[in-house]
């Protein structure tokens, strides 16, 4: 069984990131490992994180979904975790896979809400604590775990200005802000209005501007087919076979009728500050599916060649049939077939006693 658990922890590790542009949600590890109602297991266990990772993947229809994970340093001495689990958490922290808060940093609960507000990532928690942005709570459901909406009010649109700077921590071995070459840094902690390292509490040195980016996804029938970034100053063209090397070619996702309908260069996406814009460059046109929230029926707005429109967090662009483009971190609703690639596929049954349908 020990080998099985190690195998699952290795699979979970591949789904961890402290890069907001690569993450699909943010969570507090200490809270998740104690959600014993999800599996009926012991009071705290690390592989419970895998259940939540899988729930995020199913909710977004994205088998490649990763999570931004934060933990207070006290978790490294939690008596309800095994010695091996604590070693794994420390390794993940040292490798920059998760963010462990040290002395002088904010509590992990507050830090997850700060990250969610700055990045626009969904918050996964049992209690929002008054956080007004998008939040989901994990619940046991049908032999697994699902996400239940807790709040979805308006919040700051990603990416915030602090994500447009590169930072360096005075601690030279800091896994988050060690130097100038790291890409995809975590957000700086804005303690007292001063950018600080959440791990060490020290003020950060400002190394200058860096282009902000936003994660989008091409979905086919609600399931993510391709995830990509749109970066300030780097427009992305999507089409059957774009001329630009940075374009997203979707020809392999189209049937014969779709290949005739979708233009070689169909739409262009541009990010300017916090504003994302879509411009139709096609022959046959595009449809903007506008929504103000996840439960709202979309408003269909045709776009003709040369037309541009802002693309909000719940909006989608319909290129052809059920092939759409939108924010990678926003669910499009239930999908007929969930994504493959569960990190819990080989979890030992002795360790996970999942509840029945409910």
Q: How deeply is 26 buried, as exposed, middle or buried, from its count of CB atoms within 10 A (0-12, 13-18, 19+)?
A: buried
The rounded distance, in Å, linking the Cα atoms of 171 and 148 is 39
Q: Where among 156, 176, 192 does a domain terminate?
A: 156
Contact 249, 239 (CB under 8 A): yes
Range of the domain at 265: 223-327
pLDDT in tens, 256-308: 999 999 999 999 999 988 889 999 999 999 999 999 888 889 999 999 999 99
Q: How many CB atoms lie within 10 A of CB 306?
A: 8
3-class DSSP assignment, residue 116: helix
pLDDT in tens, 176-206: 998 655 568 999 999 888 999 999 999 999 9
Q: Where among 109, 134, 156 does a domain terminate?
A: 156
Contact 50, 347 (CB under 8 A): yes
| Range 57-73 burial, b when 16+ CB lie within 10 A, else e | bbbbbbbbbbbbbbbbb
Q: Are residues 227 and 116 in the same domain?
A: no
Q: Are residues 17 and 138 in the same domain?
A: yes
pLDDT in tens, 44-85: 999 999 999 999 999 999 999 999 999 999 999 999 999 999
Of the candidates 275, 156, 267, 290, the one whose C-alpha atom is nearest the C-alpha of residue 218 is 267
Tokens at 304, concatenated: 């003709």
Q: Which pTM was predicted?
A: 0.92
Asked, for residue 350, whether it belongs to a domain, the answer is no
How many Cα atoms sit within 13 Å of 207 on the Cβ side? 18
Asked, for residue 171, whether it belongs to a domain, the answer is no
Q: Are residues 25 and 120 in the same domain?
A: yes
Asked, for residue 303, whether it belongs to a domain, the answer is yes
């Amino acid at each position: 069984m020990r080998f099985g658990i190690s195998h699952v922890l290795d699979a979970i590790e591949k789904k961890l990131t402290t890069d907001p542009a690569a993450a699909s949600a943010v969570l507090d590890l200490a809270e998740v490992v104690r959600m014993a109602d999800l599996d009926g297991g012991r009071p705290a266990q690390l592989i419970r994180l895998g259940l939540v990772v899988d729930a995020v993947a199913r909710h977004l229809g994205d088998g490649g979904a990763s999570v931004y994970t934060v933990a207070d340093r006290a978790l490294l001495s939690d008596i309800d975790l095994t010695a091996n689990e604590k070693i794994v958490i420390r390794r993940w922290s040292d490798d920059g896979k998760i963010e462990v808060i040290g002395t002088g940093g904010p509590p992990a609960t507050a830090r997850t809400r700060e990250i969610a507000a700055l990045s626009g990532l969904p918050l996964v928690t049992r209690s929002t604590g008054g956080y007004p942005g998008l939040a989901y709570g994990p619940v046991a459901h049908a032999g697994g775990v699902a996400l239940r909406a807790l709040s979805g009010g308006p919040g700051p649109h990603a990416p915030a200005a602090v994500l447009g700077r590169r930072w360096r921590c005075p601690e030279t071995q800091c896994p988050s802000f060690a130097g100038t070459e790291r890409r995809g840094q975590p957000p700086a902690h804005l303690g007292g209005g001063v950018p600080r390292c959440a791990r060490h509490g020290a003020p950060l040195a400002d190394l200058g501007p860096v282009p902000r980016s936003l994660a989008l996804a091409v979905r086919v029938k609600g399931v993510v087919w391709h995830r990509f970034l749109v970066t300030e100053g780097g427009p992305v063209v999507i089409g059957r076979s774009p001329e630009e090397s940075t374009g997203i070619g979707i020809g392999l996702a189209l049937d014969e009728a779709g290949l005739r309908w979708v233009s070689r260069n169909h739409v262009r996406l541009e990010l300017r500050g916090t504003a994302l814009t879509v411009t139709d460059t096609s022959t046959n046109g595009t449809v903007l599916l506008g929504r103000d929230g996840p439960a709202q029926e979309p408003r269909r707005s045709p776009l003709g060649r040369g037309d541009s429109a802002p693309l909000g967090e719940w909006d989608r662009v319909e290129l052809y049939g059920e092939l759409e483009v939108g924010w990678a971190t926003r669910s499009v609703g239930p999908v007929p077939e969930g994504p493959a690639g569960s990190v819990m596929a080989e979890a030992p049954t002795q360790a996970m006693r999942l509840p029945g349908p409910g």
